[in-house]
């Protein structure tokens, strides 16, 4: 019998969560875990609740016709989805795509101390470089996921 590691388990949850996203080009999932290996929250990139999505776009377009103005990122949704006022202090975030600078701010503010990420496909973007700078200054540990599923290509 082959038992998967905690990292494989939690990244698997993040990957499965990403499949809930309706984004046709980038599906992202996140799983937040406490120091006792208990799942605290999960999230995926999607439009805010209660919005009529048919009146918004999933296109990369420009101006008001750009999904980037409306979509909540997986990490941000996972932070917002916590139940019963749970603390995220000291938690680990498993995420399928390295966090942007806006999500980095929320991650740092909540006290998450470690990020395990699957893909860093925007590594050279200003947003990602800013994230990495903030994480370094805040003492947030970063780890590229190397376990099972690491060969998965995210769409």
Q: Which residues are catalytic?
A: 75
Interhelix angle 101-110/126-138, rounded to 10 degrees, is 20
Residues 6+ apart with CB under 8 A from 106: 75, 76, 79
User: Cβ atoms within 10 A of the Cβ of 56, count?
Assistant: 17
User: Cβ atoms within 10 A of the Cβ of 8, count?
Assistant: 15
Residue whose C-alpha is closest to residue 135's, from 88, 86, 98? 98
């Amino acid at each position: 019998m082959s038992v998967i590691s905690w990292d494989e388990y939690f990244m698997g949850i993040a990957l499965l969560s990403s499949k809930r996203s309706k984004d046709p080009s980038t599906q992202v999932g996140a799983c937040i875990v406490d120091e006792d290996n208990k799942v605290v929250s999960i999230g995926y990139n999607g439009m805010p609740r209660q919005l009529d999505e048919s009146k918004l776009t999933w296109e990369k377009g420009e101006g008001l016709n750009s999904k980037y103005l409306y979509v909540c990122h997986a990490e941000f949704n996972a932070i917002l989805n916590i139940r019963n006022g749970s603390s995220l202090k000291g938690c680990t975030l498993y995420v399928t795509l390295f966090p942007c600078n806006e999500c980095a701010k929320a991650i740092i503010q909540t006290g998450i101390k470690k990020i395990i990420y699957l893909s860093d496909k925007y590594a050279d973007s200003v947003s990602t470089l800013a994230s990495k700078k903030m994480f370094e200054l805040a003492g947030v540990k970063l780890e590229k996921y190397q376990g099972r599923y690491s060969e998965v290509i995210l769409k």
